[in-house]
Amino acid sequence: MKMRAHFPHIAMRLLACGSLPAASAWAQAKGPSVVVVPTAPLASPLSRDQFIAALSRDLAAHFNFEGELQLELTRPWSSPARLAAVWDVAVLEYPTVPSSSMLLRIRMLADGQPVGSAADGGIVVRAALWRDAWSTRQPLAVGSPFDAGALEARRVDFLREREVLPASAGDRGFIMARAVPAGRMLTWRDITRRPLVKKGDVVEVSASTGLLVVTMKALAMESGAQGETVTVRNPESHKNFSAIVVDENRVKVRF
């Protein structure tokens, strides 16, 4: 009787140790003995790198920046006197125009609760926006077609060099608006759209309404690139009217 009374306890210890053949089957039938609970994120202070990264993402999205935005704090970093598992940093007020020095009003949340921030919500940052821009390899003459082979890309700060031409811009639809020496950064003022209509040329004018299309010849009174509005003259009535450049020596009139 004593053996029978103690047998279940011995069996349970053996099963727990995996000493009986039925140990694994019993464990599977009874389910796992340990339940794993995901651990919550550990509370930590807000680091300088986290703070700057959050500001960079916010500014890049707001101003639709292209390139690599780099920020630098003008004052020594002082982390808020609080620990949190989740930090949220957002810009509440932006400058009208981005520049190399910007005053921002910010908000910081620690686990959803507002906390004091640097300069009581205001902070000044120095910024640089690095992108590739076009520089000339050789002298370029006025009127010459835009040719990427005559250029090279250089990394510049677009918040300081605001007029430079990004390397993502420019194609054969442009020509040089003025002569540019070798070794100089190109600017938007150095190029212009190649005119598809030139002053003094005879152009084809089309006008349409519904299924009706009317065409005629006219004299271009000024030059224009694709999409630009130019003045043309009816050679019979000698009356001027406006038309939109659509292609080489072709314009259209909208009713």
pLDDT > 50? residue 225:
yes
User: How confident is the model at residue 34, as a pLDDT?
Assistant: 55
Whether 162 and 107 share a structural domain: no
Asked whether residue 148 is assigned to any structural domain, the reply reads yes
Are residues 115 and 141 both part of a single domain? Answer: no
The residue out of 148, 175, 193 marking a domain boundary is 193
According to DSSP, residue 184 is labeled -
Q: In terms of domains, do 59 and 125 share one?
A: yes
The answer to whether residue 19 scores a pLDDT higher than 70 is no
Q: H helices within the chain, ranges in order?
A: 2-17, 23-30, 48-63
* Predicted local confidence at residue 8, as pLDDT: 41
| Coil vs helix vs strand at 235 | coil
Tokens representing 114 are: 């507002």
Residues 30, 125: Cα–Cα separation, whole Å: 61
Rounded CA-CA distance 130/87 in Å is 28
In a domain, 31, yes or no: no
Q: Is 61 within the bounds of a domain?
A: yes
For 29-76, the pLDDT digits (tens) are 444 545 555 555 688 999 999 999 999 999 999 999 999 999 999 999
Q: Using the 3D structure, point to which of 166, 193, 220 is the last residue of a domain.
A: 193
In a shared domain, residues 154 and 125: no
Q: Are residues 160 and 225 in the same domain?
A: no
User: Which of 211, 207, 219 is closest to 253 using CA atoms?
Assistant: 207
Instruction: Decide if 225 is inside a domain.
Output: yes
pLDDT tier, 16 (very low <50, low <70, confident <90, very high otherwise): very low
pLDDT tens by residue, 123-173: 999 999 999 999 999 999 999 999 999 999 999 999 999 999 999 998 888
Q: Are residues 65 and 114 in the same domain?
A: yes
Both 162 and 234 in a single domain? no
Q: 72 and 86 share a domain?
A: yes
Residue 134 phi, psi (nearest 5): -85, 135
CATH code assigned at 207? 2.30.30.760
SS3 143: coil
Domain extent for 214: 202-253
Rounded percentage of the chain residues whose pLDDT exceeds 70: 82
Residues 121 and 149 placed together within one structural domain of the fold? no
CA nearest to 172, candidates 153, 202, 207, 196: 196
**215 and 248 share a domain?**
yes
Is residue 33 included in any domain, yes or no? no
CB neighbour list of residue 170: distance below 8 Å, 6 or more residues apart? 134, 146, 148, 186, 191
Residue 7 lies in a domain: no
Q: What is the pLDDT of residue 11?
A: 37
Contact indicator for 255, 240 with CB cutoff of 8 Å: no
Identify whether 111 is part of a domain.
yes
| 81-135 tens-digit pLDDT | 889 999 999 999 999 999 999 999 999 999 999 887 554 568 999 999 999 999 9
- Mark whether 120 and 136 lie in a shared domain: no
CATH number at residue 153: 3.90.1210.10
Question: What pLDDT was estimated at residue 10?
Answer: 35
Q: Are residues 57 and 103 in the same domain?
A: yes
Asked if residue 82 belongs to a domain, the reply is yes
pLDDT of 9 over the 70 cut: no
Decide which of 129, 146, 181 is a domain's last residue. 129
What proportion of the chain, given as a percentage, has pLDDT over 90? Answer: 65
Structural domains in the chain (count): 3
